[in-house]
Chains A and B, each alone.
Chain A
């Protein structure tokens, strides 16, 4: 199965700053079938990005995704207070779907 490694584990930032989150796959993710989710405490995950770079419905344009193959990045242009949360990458290009371990963006 494809192992996804996210870095950093924790990202301390302030509102207004730019956040760059990394997701590295143990083997190439076919068709760039890579998604990013945001999860806040006590809530279900929320889809942000799919197909590595396509924003899901209703997601603000400060969220952007990039990458292909084994290296993917989620960028949050200017952090809003509501963006402090845990972010997960997930690949759906193989028969065994997998998630990364998460990056916590904290103040």
Chain B
């Protein structure tokens, strides 16, 4: 069965960077784009971007352009999302999700807290 397992919770200072990983199993990693979606406390879902694991091409949401980098390592079926210049309002649960192309499979989420 498809599984997406994300890295653990992080606490970062404002201005720092965070990198969250998402390890895929149960399917061929290069078959589906991997997306990142975040959810601030008590708020809705916000799409951040995707990576084509086959080519490495990415497409970032305009809101995050210049601050987010999505990468992958096909040898270990893992995608990464790095967010730079963190602000207090980046505190959120970050999800990876995949599907064909709708988001049928989701990771468990990674809480990133930005705090001084």
Contacts and interface: CB of A to CB of B under 8 A. Distances in A.
A93 to B, nearest CB: 10
B62 A90 contact: no
Nearest to A36: B102
A86 to B, nearest CB: 8
B102 A44 contact: no
A92 B102 contact: yes
Interface string A74-107: 0000000000000010101001111111100000
A97 B35 contact: yes
Contacts of A46: 106
A100 B103 contact: no
Contacts, number: 56
Given A44-B106, A44-B108, A96-B62, A90 B45 contact: yes
B107 interface: yes
B26 interface: no
B24 to A, nearest CB: 15
Decide if the interface of chain A is mainly helix, strand, loop or mixed.
Answer: loop
Contact of A47 (B44, B47, B61, B103): B103
A56 B104 CA distance: 8
Interface residues of B, number: 21
B44 A92 contact: no
A106 to B, nearest CB: 15
B47 A45 contact: no
Contacts of A90: 45, 47, 103
B99 A47 contact: yes
A23 interface: no
A72 interface: no
B101 A44 contact: no
A102 B101 contact: no
Contacts of B80: none
For the complex of A and B, the 8 pairs showing the least CB-CB separation, nearest first, are: A50-B102, A44-B106, A99-B45, A97-B47, A35-B102, A102-B44, A47-B104, A101-B44
